[in-house]
Amino acid sequence: MAELIFNLSKEGKCAFSLPESQVPSYEIDKKYTREDDVSLPEVSEVDVIRHFTNISRNNYGVDQGFYPLGSCTMKYNPKVNEDVAGLQGFTSLHPYQPEYQVQGALKAAYELGGYLCEITGMKGATLQPAAGAHGEMTGIMIIKAYHQNRNDNKRTKMIVPDSAHGTNPASAATAGYEIVQVKSDDLGLVDIDALAALMDDETAGLMLTNPNTLGLFESNITKIAKIVHDKGGLLYYDGANLNAIMGIARPFDMGFDVVHFNLHKTMSTPHGGGGPGSGPVCVREDLVRFLPKPVVCKDGERYYLDHDRKDAIGRVKAFYGNYLVYIKALAYILTMGPDGLKKASETAVLNANYIMAGIKDSFVIPYDRFCMHEFVLSGSRQKEQYGISTLDMAKRLLDYGYHPPTIYFPLIVHEGMMIEPTETESKETLDKFIEALNKIAKEAKTNPELLHDAPHNTYVRRLDEVTAARNPVLKWEKEQDE
Amino acid sequence: MRFTRDHEWIKKEGKYAYIGITDYAQQQLGDIVYVELAEEDLVLQQGDVLCAIESVKTAAEVYMPVSGTVIEANAELEDAPEKINEDPYGTYLAKIIIDDETELNDLMTEDEYNEFLESEAE
């Protein structure tokens, strides 16, 4: 492990030299000053540069290699989108600038909202939410506002499938709903009869992602929409899996009422490091009035922020959201064009099916039919026959130079491993990855110890994840002299 | 041995009772990696959280099948949480004194629990 920068500290070392101050010094009252020393590391400039450069080289990102992390859409993000978002006209904006000075910036936001509506078939958009789950919460608050506005106040429940992203129940609970789980059927789809039995006039709606987390298209989606709508509920689309359907199917046409995007996933922003993200929400026509305010509007040739919206749920973010992330999304949409977006989704689906077909003989595929942009395999055979868990195999993938896929999700698959290659990977990359997975399946049989102890070639070996989660050491503390 | 709908079991032995999770529960959780043990002398109502179990997949809470006082947690699980996977009915999480034994009547018998599992699976 690299030394902490605190341990590199040598008394008197310093990484800067400033000219002597010409401002007279001023003594601060003792009651405002700290008694102990601040314990900042004393290091030279070269120490700082080497320390952080070396740490950064231990990172792994999609610019270095394949990153098939299911549900996360770790596609390559074209650098031209970064260039556009880095234009000074965007980076130097101030949110308090008067509207007449920022017409171009407002136009960019307005047009992005329009494109997002076109992709989803919806009628209005807010770009405020800062991330996917934030978008979910905003969408659910809009659903709540819709019911309350109709004086329909007995709806206290939200239905979520047992295969849902964990954020779905969390977002609905944050918005004040009681969560009701609907189970999946043998095909891995929402159990229609179970849904019909649960849906009543106390249920606000259903949150769904389509394709679902098993990478399967909910082929009964119009029936599902009817069941929910017939009982007065609304249908929420979790846009986490939008990468499978752009330009091919629109959530509105499937019967969805509210949808969020993960712009950072589908629309080209490097993600996985904790943000910034962007989770715009689009809604059908009669829900537009509930969107958070302000909404970017157009009057003739003039763009403006409309604050005068009495039914709006309020603000969900300071200012207008993570602006530069949506500039990247706009650049992505414009450079791809409608045909390019469609091609991206088609290729994403093709790539996932290609990997699934390539590893079929080595692993159990619990839902064995064409998948969408991702699929879930089960390591149950390796577990039962050789005592090798999916965790062991994921760790072994690190030795082969890959970021491992998502594991143990969705919860309904035993020893699950969820693989999402995305459209930006070549056949050569996919072939090598298939070869690695098949090799690992063989190793499970011939050399289980190798997998038990994996990874072997990485900077750090197998970590004690339980202790790390239970007793994380989050800050450095100076050793006290006895 | 009696069972709850949340997949706990409780077994009365003399003056004490032992609580664990069912085979079905350990299968659903997958490899158990950590058990946050119950505190001794804790007085709990039926349905209160007794302790928490973490597996490679998820974290789950274990609920009190009946009201009672925790006498002892199974310290063996600190270093060997996988014992629950290996022998769910032979590995207890906590030893308790039951407040009101009539509460046991609320719980399912083995046959009832198996039927319950079947009906859940449908």
The answer, for A465 touching chain B at a CB cutoff of 8 Å, is: yes
Q: How far is A450 from chain B (nearest CA, A)?
A: 19
Interchain CB distance below 8 Å, B54 and A466: yes
Range A192-205 average pLDDT: 97
CA nearest B31 in A: which residue?
A389
Q: Which amino acid is at A143?
A: I
Instruction: Give the pLDDT confidence of A71-90 residue by residue, as tens digits.
Output: 999 999 999 999 999 999 99
Asked whether residue B109 is assigned to any structural domain, the reply reads no
Q: Read off the CATH number of the domain in which B29 is found.
A: 2.40.50.100
- Across chain A, mean pLDDT equals 94
For every one of its 122 residues, what pLDDT tens digit does chain B have, with 9 covering 90 and above?
Answer: 999 999 999 999 999 999 999 999 999 898 899 999 999 999 999 999 999 999 988 889 999 999 999 999 999 999 999 999 999 999 999 999 999 999 999 999 999 999 999 987 76
Asked whether residue B122 is assigned to any structural domain, the reply reads no
Cα separation of B52 and B61, whole Å? 4
With a cut of 50, say whether residue A482 has pLDDT above it.
no
CA nearest B36 in A: which residue?
A470
Asked whether residue B114 is assigned to any structural domain, the reply reads no
Nearest-by-Cβ selection for A470 from B30, B34, B56: B34
Q: How far is B42 from chain A (nearest CA, A)?
A: 22
Cβ–Cβ pairs < 8 A, chains A and B: 20
Instruction: Give the pLDDT confidence of A32-67 residue by residue, as tens digits.
Output: 999 888 889 999 999 999 999 999 888 899 999 999
Asked whether residue B105 is assigned to any structural domain, the reply reads no
CB contacts of A414 in chain B (<8 Å) are 30
The answer, for A381 touching chain B at a CB cutoff of 8 Å, is: no
Cα dihedral across residues A127, A128, A131, A136: positive or negative: negative
User: pLDDT value at position A254?
Assistant: 97
Asked whether residue B107 is assigned to any structural domain, the reply reads no
Structure tokens at A118: 């076109």
Its CATH class, for the domain covering A338-468, is alpha beta
Asked whether residue B80 is assigned to any structural domain, the reply reads yes
With a cut of 70, say whether residue A480 has pLDDT above it.
no
With a cut of 80, say whether residue A298 has pLDDT above it.
yes
With a cut of 50, say whether residue A26 has pLDDT above it.
yes
Residues 44-103 of B with CB under 8 A from A: 54, 56-58
Asked whether residue B106 is assigned to any structural domain, the reply reads no
pTM summary value:
0.89
Total domains in chain B come to 1
Residues, chain A: 482
Listed in order, the ranges of chain A carrying CATH 3.90.1150.10 are 338-468
- Out of 3.30.450.30, 1.10.3720.10, 3.40.640.10, 3.40.50.720, which CATH number does the structure's domain A79-336 have? 3.40.640.10
Cα separation of A263 and A261, whole Å? 6
CA nearest B81 in A: which residue?
A466
CA nearest B32 in A: which residue?
A466
With a cut of 90, say whether residue A3 has pLDDT above it.
no
User: pLDDT value at position B37?
Assistant: 93
Cα separation of B65 and B108, whole Å? 10
Instruction: Give the pLDDT confidence of A224-267 residue by residue, as tens digits.
Output: 999 999 999 999 999 999 999 999 999 999 999 999 999 999 99
Range A12-24 average pLDDT: 91
What 3-state class would DSSP assign to A157? strand
Range A160-183 average pLDDT: 95
Interchain CB distance below 8 Å, A415 and B30: yes
Confidence band for A459, pLDDT divided at 50, 70 and 90: confident
Cα separation of A5 and A476, whole Å? 10
- Token pair 């009906």 is at which residue? B119
Interchain CB distance below 8 Å, A389 and B56: yes
| Structural domain for B15, as ranges | 2-100
Listed in order, the ranges of chain A carrying CATH 3.40.640.10 are 79-336
A interface mutation test: which of B55, B57, B85 has the most A CBs within 10 A? B57
CA nearest A410 in B: which residue?
B57
